[in-house]
Amino acid sequence: MHLASKRILLIIGGGIAAYKSLFLIRRLREQGAQVRCILTKAGAEFVTPLSVSALSEQPVYQDLFSLTDEAEMGHIRLSREADLVVVAPATANLMARMASGLADDLATTCLLASSAPVLLAPAMNGYMWAHPATQENRQRLAERGVSFVGPEAGDLACGEVATGRMAEPEEILTAIASQLAGQSGPLACKRVLVTAGPTREALDPVRYVSNHSSGKQGFAIATALAALGAEVALIAGPVQLPTPDNLSRIDVESADDMLAACLSALPVDAAICAAAVADWKAQIAPNKMKKTGDGLPEISWQQNPDILATLSQHEQRPPLVVGFAAETEKVVEHAQAKRARKGCDWIVANDVSAERGVFGGDSNQVHVIDADGVEAWPQLDKRAVAERLADRIAHALGQS
């Protein structure tokens, strides 16, 4: 992450998730960012000004009409000096007041007076988030260029299970880094494409074959690259994941669609193929296949195009092509052979035996293989694998 000397204005709204903002302040400070905090009246019901000020090592701003604050730093200056304004937790009320352009406390006044980009981490009850009023406000704010991280689905403080949980501090931190990376970062001015998720190969108008890839590893890589400032084209098979900030996502179904999307993204500085592309496709039956007694349907299979090999041999070959190898035995040996056969520069080998839970899971243990040899990485969560890989890519592209 490249947050050293970045100035973040953090607005802490009134929600039970406010405690997570304390972790966020600590993580931002560890990354070298300067953090100034506004604590709303409701926010102060959940966390104390003293904790916020101790962690940020700055005074906490609470009152629009505080003479001390105004003498020391007017609210205009407070909002103008920020590289990024982050609202976490962003309550339904704060979002509504922002969408309406109200300026009835220090937080909303600063938001209205600021020309800095704004990132919201909403947190609220699931019904409040799903309410058309909140969704309209979200839409209006997004149209004005406000970015969002979360909310996530899960257990809520009110005891319900729904979408409304504030994103975890680490995720907000990544979103902050990717917001700021457009302004700087080791991959600024670099274009990369990342493939993620499974492909889905139709058998007839209603059936398909696919695999269990969730897209988590590929999405984490795309996010980490965007956080370093890269312009990322994320080419995603059918997955249930939200689109990360600051990248363009192209949704595809089949291997043929994925190849076409990859080719139209060229030229790029690097291609990272983390998708689990089906090796075969069926001759698609024009109508739904009928069950005829005990007989089994005749399906005729063909090879799918190999996207990684095509990119590796293309006349517009990216300077760096990275493949993944999903193996269940002799992981390194098979991956080395795959790297040579497909012609990519690096191959990231993972053991996808069922007991490892890599497909769909949150962690991975990989070997990174290049012309110089094999690096064994420890078991890490997929975000950490992605961040380490993104740093390696930045280094290889000569920008770090």
Segment contacting ligand PMT (CB under 6 A): 27-35, 48-56, 125-133, 355-363?
355-363
Range in contact with ligand PMT (rule: CB under 6 A) among 30-38, 110-118, 124-132, 350-358: 350-358
- Total of chain residues touching ligand PMT, rule CB under 6 A: 30
- Stretch 304-323 residues interacting with ligand PMT (CB under 6 A): 304, 306-308, 323
Nearer to ligand PMT, 63 or 257 (CB): 257
d(CA 5, CA 81): 12
Q: By CB under 6 A, what part of segment 214-273 binds ligand PMT? A: 214-218, 255, 273
Amino acid (1-letter code) at residue 375: E
Q: How far is CA 255 from CA 30, 163, 276, 315, in A?
A: 42, 32, 9, 20
Cα-trace Rg, the chain: 24
How far apart are alpha carbons 54 and 3 in whole angstroms?
A: 20
Query: In the bound complex, what is the minimum distance in angstroms from residue 283's beta carbon to ligand PMT?
Result: 17
Burial of residue 92, with CB atoms counted within 10 A of its CB: 0-12 exposed, 13-18 middle, 19 or more buried: buried
| Shortest Cβ 253–ligand PMT spacing (Å) | 14
Rounded Cα distance, 330 and 157, in Å = 46
Smallest separation, CB 361 to ligand PMT (Å): 7
Both structure tokens of 44: 């102060």
Distance CA 215, CA 26 (A): 30
Under rule CB under 6 A, residue 32 binds ligand PMT:
no
Q: Is 174 in contact with 25 (CB distance < 8 Å)? A: no
Q: Which of 55, 84, 90, 274 binds ligand PMT (CB under 6 A)?
A: 274
Binding residue (CB under 6 A) for ligand PMT from 9, 277, 321, 393: 277
Closest distance between ligand PMT and the C-beta of residue 382, in Å?
6
| Subset of 146-175 contacting ligand PMT (CB under 6 A) | none
Nearer to ligand PMT among residue 282 and residue 308 (C-beta): 308
CA distance 14 to 23: 16
Residue 202 CB, nearest approach to ligand PMT (Å): 16
Which has the closest alpha carbon to 13: 140, 104, 148, 121?
121
- Looking at the Cβ atoms of 69 and 327, the one nearer to ligand PMT is 327
The candidate with the shortest Cα–Cα distance to 23, out of 100, 96, 115, 121, is: 121
| Residues 249 and 243: beta-carbon distance below 8 Å | yes
Q: Which of 128, 228, 326, 386 binds ligand PMT (CB under 6 A)?
A: 326
Residues at the site binding ligand PMT, with contacts judged by CB under 6 A? 195, 197, 213-218, 255, 273-277, 279, 304, 306-308, 323-326, 338, 350, 352, 358-360, 382
